[in-house]
């Protein structure tokens, strides 16, 4: 069951309540009977480990996110070491 946090507007007490998702939210403070508001808190849920998604979230080397690419690059890498203006492949553009 999820844990929800509430803050009392009267006594400023913050309380945690374990409730079902189908339960109605608290309306009053159990201590002073003042109105409460539900707080937004950080989730403690984290996905860790390999293989959660096939598009790049798996651990490296597991093979789940690695795509085999047999197609050579469209243009060969620059071997001159200079800028693009000096590259023979850029002359045809």
pLDDT value for 13? 93
pLDDT value for 41? 75
pTM of the model: 0.45
Output the tens digit of pLDDT for each of the chain's 93 residues: 788 999 999 999 999 999 998 999 999 999 999 999 999 877 777 777 666 565 555 556 655 545 555 666 565 566 656 566 666 666 654
pLDDT value for 31? 92
- 3-state SS, 11-77, equals CCCEEEEECCCCCCCCCECCCCCCEEEEECCCCCCCCCCCCCCCCCCCCCCCCCCCCCCCCCCCCCC
pLDDT value for 80? 58
């Amino acid at each position: 069951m999820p844990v929800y946090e509430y803050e009392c507007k009267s006594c400023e007490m913050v309380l945690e309540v374990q409730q079902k998702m189908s339960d109605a939210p608290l309306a009053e403070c159990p201590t002073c009977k003042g109105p409460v508001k539900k707080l937004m808190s950080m989730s403690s849920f984290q996905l860790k480990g390999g293989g959660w998604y096939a598009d790049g979230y798996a651990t490296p080397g597991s093979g789940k996110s690695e795509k085999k690419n047999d197609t050579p690059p469209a243009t060969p890498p620059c071997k001159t070491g200079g800028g693009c203006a000096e590259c023979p492949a850029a002359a045809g553009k």
